[in-house]
Amino acid sequence: MKWGKRPYYALKVYLEKRFGFPVKRIALDAGFTCPNRDGKLSRGGCVYCGEEGARASYVQPELSPREQLLSRMRFWEKRGFRGGYIAYFQAYTNTYGEQQRLRALYDSVLVPGVVGVFIGTRPDCLDDGVLEVLTYLAQKTWVTVEVGVQSTHDPTLALLHRGHKASDSREALRRLREAHVERLVHVIGGLPGETQEIFLKTIADVQEWGCEAIKFHHLFVERNTLLEKWYHEEKIVLLSREEYIMWLVEALVRLDPEIVIHRLFGDCEKDRLVAPLWTLEKAKNVALVEQFMGFRDLWQGKYR
Ligand code: SF4
């Protein structure tokens, strides 16, 4: 098989091919907020967004991003890891700041051992000043911008209180391409009111608009979110694991085999998760997808 034992182009395979050694992502919290939380667009945030804005549990936000990175690199080195690292600006909207601040911040994590920088953001937070900084950074290291597309169906985006439209995502992907920055799109399967057809339209749209990588998430409910309230009021129905896997596989078989898959499922800490509880069975979830694809003789791009 083209990607080792996997029926899809997993990030791990891509990193080994690109660098020839193992590479770990280290999530960072640079103290950003988000225009959908600080009042610029809204104060409520997206309906599914938890209080930590998708921050990984090991992150120590009281430290500077550089200290967070060095501390986690030491953690892995003490455990015998010998490889490279990606500084991953994950929590909240990591391009939501002044040009000077962004440049200094991104520069601060370019320490020996770091082979790339990933930057998570919203599609409407990529103005000319930000793109200038990203272009500058891309001359120094490998840069990937993770764009929170979620869906390309405008009624869904409105329901989620995203505060942007699908056209913003299309424009963001076009502008990032012009800036020579790699594009990772973040999409969610099982959003309220969406059918499999709408989900697959999102996958077709992001491929048409252009991206080098995709991160799939299933919809899960996190504590202290509006989505939690809707869930308890039975206003939303979550996909079962089997349903999500069917949707995911239908997306994978239609996907360009050159697109790198960063994730197949959403990830949530146990103490923050309301439902579905199968979210926590990370290894089993991935194994089920691979088994299903193997059993049916399917692979990424088979029906493209
Ligand atoms: S854009 Fe991101 S950080 Fe902001 S509210 Fe939505 S999910 Fe949370």
Each residue of 114-162: pLDDT tens digit? 999 999 999 999 999 999 999 999 999 999 999 999 999 999 999 999 9
Q: Is the pLDDT of residue 53 over 60?
A: no
CB 115 within 8 A of CB 56: no
- The tokens for 230 are 């809707």
Task: Return the best residue to mutate from 29, 32, 36 for the ligand 1 pocket (most ligand atoms within 8 A of CB).
Answer: 36
Burial of 252 (0-12, 13-18, 19+ CB in 10 A): buried
Tell me which residue has its CA closest to atom 3 in ligand 1.
92
182's tokens: 């790699």
According to the model, what pLDDT value does residue 55 have? 67
pLDDT at 6: 95
187-205 pLDDT, tens digit each: 999 999 999 999 999 999 9
| Distance from chain centroid for Cα 169 | 14
Which positions ≥6 away from 147 have C-beta within 8 Å? 121, 122, 123, 169, 172, 173, 176, 183, 184, 185, 186, 211
Q: Domain boundaries in the chain? A: 11-295
**Which of 92, 151, 161, 164 has most ligand 1 atoms within 8 Å of CB, for mutation?**
92
Mean pLDDT of 196-215: 98
Query: CA 94: distance to chain centroid?
Result: 13
pLDDT per residue as tens digits for the range 256-282: 999 999 999 999 999 999 999 999 999
Q: What is the percent of the chain with per-residue pLDDT over 70, rounded to a whole number?
A: 98
Q: Which structure tokens are listed for 265?
A: 């499922």
E strand or H helix at 213: strand 213-218
Banded pLDDT at 186 (limits 50, 70, 90): very high
Per-residue confidence (pLDDT) for residue 52, from 0 to 100: 63
CA atoms within 13 Å, Cβ hemisphere of 252: 28
107: nearest Cα among 119, 125, 92, 93: 119
| 162 Cα: distance to centroid of ligand 1 (angstroms) | 8
CB-based pocket (< 6 A), ligand 1: 34, 36-37, 45-46, 49, 53, 92-93, 122, 148
User: Before 276, cis peptide (omega within 30)?
Assistant: yes
Closest residue to atom 5 of ligand 1, CA basis: 45
CATH architecture of 11-295: Alpha-Beta Barrel (3.20)
Cα(49)–Cα(187) distance, integer angstroms? 14
Q: What is the pLDDT of residue 180?
A: 87
